[in-house]
Structure 1
Amino acid sequence: MKLKGYIGTYTKGDSEGIYAFTLDTENGMLSKTSLAARLENPTYVTVSKDNRNLFAVVKEDASGGAAAYSLDEQTGELSLINSKVTEGASPCHIDVDRAKRNIVTANYHRGTVESYTIENEEGSLNATGSVIQHEGTGPDKERQEKPHVHYSGFTPDERYIAVVDLGTDRIVTYRLSDGKLTEVQSLNVKPGSGPRHLVFHPNGKYAYAMTELSNEVIVLAYNREEGSFEELQYISAIPNDFTENSQGSAIRISNDGRFVYAGNRGHDSIALFAVNQDSGELAFIEHTSTEGNWPRDFEIDPTGKFVVASNQESHNLVLFSRNEETGKLALLQSDITVPYPVCVTFLNV
């Protein structure tokens, strides 16, 4: 099987936008990357459930927002439909619902969560439907001087939007109705931890938040009826004796819900944890080097047998095989070049 995927990048140096790659699952090989779309700073991209559209965060001159592309599932070719931007910094995260009716973005620099409605089946975006401005600070005076919203995504049943604010140490739940966001619950997590990204367990009962500043995983109980979170556990994603700079990045969970993976920029590793299926809590297993510098993101492929990681500062993609019984990763390839890679995503299977 040959699986298509995309890389979002910072467009500095040689980078020109969104890059495409192919993973050959029979031979365990990544193809060389190719430019799929010229776009300024498409640092995060997401593919619609029907594989007909790709949506990206975008910067246009002094404005930022979201861009919609049509996607040819056979060739992987992207064609710009439209973009919607407003003055100010561009978002850092984007998500789309399964029915392809709404998009939500997280804006780190503005400290906002924003929603867009999708105009038609082709995937054209309407202007911003709702903008929520977060308020507050955290104890880290350099990194938490104001709100820094780093993630906004749909909950598994899509009844709510989960939003992670690094700047104020909060995880906030919103309801989205007719394109408008309304706050449901706000959970304050450990001061100074700087939560960054979040992933849900397949059973919908638990969620796992990766912290950037403290390099920890927060295990959360999730109440699907109320859209509320409760802290269960904090567990470090780096060794206790590692004293150099390291910042948490991406977090992923296997399709069977047995293993959680967390990225560490600085320690330059992916931490592997086993999930207790009764409590949702984690037990550390091992670290795997990302064979590069500053692993910004990684993704488990749709078959569950491989992981592709992106090293932002060493400009390389890394392919690992994944043991589905133990969760452990084994290096297959680390020589695929892409400039300033940030986000990794696959087409759905």
Structure 2
Amino acid sequence: MTHPLPTHNMSTYVYVSCADDSSIDCYQLDTKTDQLRYLRSVNTNGQVMPMAVSPDNKQLYAAIRSQAYHLINYQIDHSNAELKKIAQTRLPASMAYITTDRQGKYLLSASYHDNQLFVMPINNGQVSESCTIYNTGLNAHCVVVHPRNSFVYSTSLGSDKLHQYQLNNQNGQLTAIDKGYIDTPKGSGPRHIAISPDGHFLYVVTEMTATVLCYKINPHGALTFLAEIADFPRQYNHLNKSKRRDQVTPADEPTSIWASDIKLPANGNFLYIAERTSNTIGAFQIDKLTGLPHYIGAFPVEKQPRSFAIDTSCHYMVVTGQQDNHIGLYSINQQTGRLSPQTKANVGKNANWVEIISVPNER
């Protein structure tokens, strides 16, 4: 199991991609004063959105979703959080999600508009342009790697499917487990995925219904459905499932559910989901024996929260709002899982993705 890192003798840095400013804003999280200190903004010269950090915290990868699609590889200076661009790699499509495998040998990405997954080798921290392509259902939205680095899971939001693969660590090839996917509830729109630190359970947040789909991960990687948790407040209506999100009219917007992200802290005690219409983060407590979440409450956050991240100590959450000019820092109560606002910091336009790293202080 992954254990939280102590915060003493550590520096914690926060990176936020701001698509409409073509920038990555960088901050230091001061755990002694519960403050976010702005450090600098890095120009990406394109619509920067999903990001991923290498397992050793030495590389930050940022995907540009404006043409020509490409990936920027930054080296992270652990002494001051500075990002140094060291490479740029062409991408075959606009990527909604990127991640690395647990060994940092492959970059995996999901293309919403092309309905595909891509696997690209990483050599000495740099991503190769060669890639293997896997067709999925409609609107591939997320791809994650199991803690054992043996399995890969992805979502097809438009087809209501959750895909399951075996990962070959030697060549990066993906092989379907069983028939390769399981169906999720019709019209739910499976979006983002979180896996428990012990690798036994998988959770999916559904964009159109704001529920949490819970699965048991079997030893060979196959998923077994456990439950759909729907305790998140029902004050908003389910979106008309005959419409794609980009076809929704302004009249639909005020009352339609629009969930976005899901995260588990490193201790696996709680689970959190973001819902953009209500501008809230929903909190759940995890039963470690059954893996099932139990609803705690919903907490107001930034306007239209698309992404959030939890630091490795499990004590802090940073939330981005696409229609907010601030990011928010929240403390996490270690007994109850409840969020308490601590501070806000200015941020660029269309803040849509956040990554947090903690590294040993330079001596």
TM-score (norm 1): 0.89
Change (3 A) 1:161 1:179: same
Task: Determine the C-alpha separation between the residues in 1 that align with 2:166 and 2:358.
Answer: 26
Change (3 A) 1:190 1:128: farther
SS at match of 1:279: coil
Task: Determine the C-alpha separation between the residues in 2 that align with 1:160 and 1:128.
Answer: 21
Change (3 A) 1:73 1:237: farther
**Deviation string for 1:167-225 (max 9, x for gaps)?**
111111223331333322311111110010011111211111011011111111111x3
Summarize the alignment of residues 10-25 of structure 1 with structure 2, pairs less than 5 Å apart: 10=19, 12=20, 15-25=21-31
Residue number among 287, 306, 323 corresponding to 2:316 in the alignment: 306
Q: Are the counterparts in 2 of residues 199 and 253 from structure 1 also a CA contact under 8 Å?
A: yes
Match status 1:113 vs 2:117: yes
- Structure 1, unmatched stretches of 5+, are 136-146
Match status 1:182 vs 2:175: yes
Match status 1:276 vs 2:287: yes
Task: Determine the C-alpha separation between the residues in 2 that align with 1:203 and 1:236.
Answer: 24
Task: Determine the C-alpha separation between the residues in 2 that align with 1:180 and 1:163.
Answer: 15
Residue number among 105, 129, 132 corresponding to 1:130 in the alignment: 132
- Structure-2 residue corresponding to 1:104: 108
Change (3 A) 1:237 1:167: farther
Q: Are the counterparts in 1 of residues 310 and 316 from structure 2 also a CA contact under 8 Å?
A: yes
- Structure-2 residue corresponding to 1:144: none
- What's the offset of the Cα at 1:65? 4.0
- What's the offset of the Cα at 1:47? 1.2
- What's the offset of the Cα at 1:340? 1.0
**Deviation string for 1:149-170 (max 9, x for gaps)?**
1101111111121111111111
Q: Are the counterparts in 2 of residues 129 and 179 from structure 1 also a CA contact under 8 Å?
A: no
Summarize the alignment of residues 32-71 of structure 1 with structure 2, pairs less than 5 Å apart: 32=38, 34-59=40-65, 61=67, 63-71=68-76
Change (3 A) 1:103 1:274: same
AA aligned opposite 1:131:
I
- What's the offset of the Cα at 1:74? 1.2
Q: How many residues align structurally?
A: 329
- Structure-1 residue corresponding to 2:189: 194
Relative contact order: is structure 1 or structure 2 higher (C-alpha 8 Å, sep ≥ 6)? 2
Task: Determine the C-alpha separation between the residues in 1 that align with 2:162 and 2:94.
Answer: 21
- Structure 2, unmatched stretches of 5+, are 1-9, 238-254
Summarize the alignment of residues 241-252 of structure 1 with structure 2, pairs less than 5 Å apart: 241-243=235-237, 244-252=255-263
Change (3 A) 1:335 1:83: closer
SS at match of 2:130: strand
**Deviation string for 1:30-70 (max 9, x for gaps)?**
11352134241221111112121111212352x32433222
- Structure-2 residue corresponding to 1:256: 267
- Structure-1 residue corresponding to 2:156: 165
Q: Are the counterparts in 1 of residues 25 and 347 from structure 2 also a CA contact under 8 Å?
A: no
AA aligned opposite 2:74:
Y
- Structure 1 runs (4+) greater than 3 angstroms displaced: none
**Deviation string for 1:78-130 (max 9, x for gaps)?**
2222232245x4101111123221110011111111011012x2x12111321
Task: Determine the C-alpha separation between the residues in 2 that align with 1:72 and 1:108.
Answer: 32
- Structure-2 residue corresponding to 1:221: 216
**Deviation string for 1:12-35 (max 9, x for gaps)?**
2xx122221111000000113521
Q: Are the counterparts in 1 of residues 140 and 157 from structure 2 also a CA contact under 8 Å?
A: yes
AA aligned opposite 1:234:
E
Match status 1:94 vs 2:88: no
SS at match of 1:128: coil
- What's the offset of the Cα at 1:239? 1.2
- Structure-2 residue corresponding to 1:212: 207
AA aligned opposite 2:143:
S
TM-score (norm 2): 0.86
- Structure-2 residue corresponding to 1:142: none
- Structure-2 residue corresponding to 1:331: 341
Q: Are the counterparts in 2 of residues 33 and 338 from structure 1 also a CA contact under 8 Å?
A: no
Task: Determine the C-alpha separation between the residues in 2 that align with 1:33 and 1:236.
Answer: 40
Residue number among 294, 297, 311 corresponding to 1:286 in the alignment: 297
Q: Are the counterparts in 1 of residues 151 and 221 from structure 2 also a CA contact under 8 Å?
A: yes
